[in-house]
């Protein structure tokens, strides 16, 4: 018997359990695809993470290894996660602005080995599809869910995904509150406020697919929480042509 406090009961507990079940199904589906590795599976991998048609076999294989490791790790976390691992979050704990906190569904502390998920004000306002994607997004932040991000700062594990935002020109910028620690290269670029300098490193303009999904170079997308969550959810968009150099 779990002696921890259960904060969510009844319909809310049912929603959490259903989201975890749906996430587990999706993770297993993607893992089956990445192990089967048929032509269509490779196309989905390329499309979801912006891997160009002229990318080398080694580049595609490296991307596959990164995503497979994250799928396996999330399945392990999912298997141990119950409603007891969900607790009410707070704006003070999350260190988010008023505006960001009001729209937050959940957040985690990447180094938290208990894998607690802190519930924000919007989680129970989401539909079941989005609640499932929140699970895949947040769990991917935990350290140990993938290989080390080569852009990570010194002194941190850097093995979980990071968040990102878009500027008013539709370009990908990594700007969450802990970017200075978790991605200091991009943080320093953002401090310049010079988009021409930033884009020398981020490289490509974002391409939009629908009102949410967007493309970014693989050197960002393979370590990006939203991109991974969309991939797990089956939202593979074939936009590899956006990045002819495969990076």
Q: What is the pLDDT of residues 93-152, one digit of tens each?
A: 998 889 889 999 999 999 999 999 999 999 999 999 999 999 999 999 999 999 988 767
- Candidates 211, 209, 223; CA nearest to 47 is 209
DSSP β-ladder status, 117-119 and 86-88: parallel
**Domains (ranges, CATH) in the chain?**
10-242 (3.40.390.10)
Tokens of 212: 């949410």
3-state secondary structure of 71: helix
- Does the global pTM surpass 0.75? yes
Q: What is the pLDDT of residues 39-69, one digit of tens each?
A: 889 888 888 887 777 788 998 999 999 999 9
């Amino acid at each position: 018997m779990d002696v921890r406090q259960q904060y969510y009961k009844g319909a809310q507990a049912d929603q959490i359990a259903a989201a975890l079940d749906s996430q587990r199904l999706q993770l297993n589906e993607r893992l089956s695809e990445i192990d089967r590795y048929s032509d269509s599976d490779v196309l989905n991998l390329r499309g979801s993470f912006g891997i160009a048609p002229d990318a080398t076999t080694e580049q595609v294989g490296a991307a596959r290894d990164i995503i497979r490791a994250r799928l396996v790790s999330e399945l392990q976390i999912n298997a141990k996660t119950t409603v007891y691992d969900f607790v009410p979050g707070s704006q003070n704990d999350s260190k988010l602005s008023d505006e960001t906190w009001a729209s937050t569904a959940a957040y985690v502390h990447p180094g938290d080995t208990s894998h607690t998920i802190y519930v924000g004000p919007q989680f129970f306002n989401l539909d079941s599809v989005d609640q499932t994607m929140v699970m895949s997004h947040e769990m991917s932040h935990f350290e140990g869910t993938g290989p080390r991000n080569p852009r990570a700062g010194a002194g941190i594990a850097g093995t979980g995904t990071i968040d990102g935002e878009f500027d008013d020109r539709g370009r990908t910028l990594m700007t969450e509150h802990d970017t200075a620690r978790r991605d200091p290269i991009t943080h320093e670029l953002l401090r310049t406020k010079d988009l021409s300098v930033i884009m020398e490193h981020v490289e490509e303009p974002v391409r939009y697919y629908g009102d949410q999904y967007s493309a970014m170079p693989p050197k960002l997308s393979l370590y990006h929480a939203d991109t991974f969550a969309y991939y797990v959810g089956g939202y593979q968009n074939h936009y590899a042509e956006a990045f002819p150099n495969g990076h």
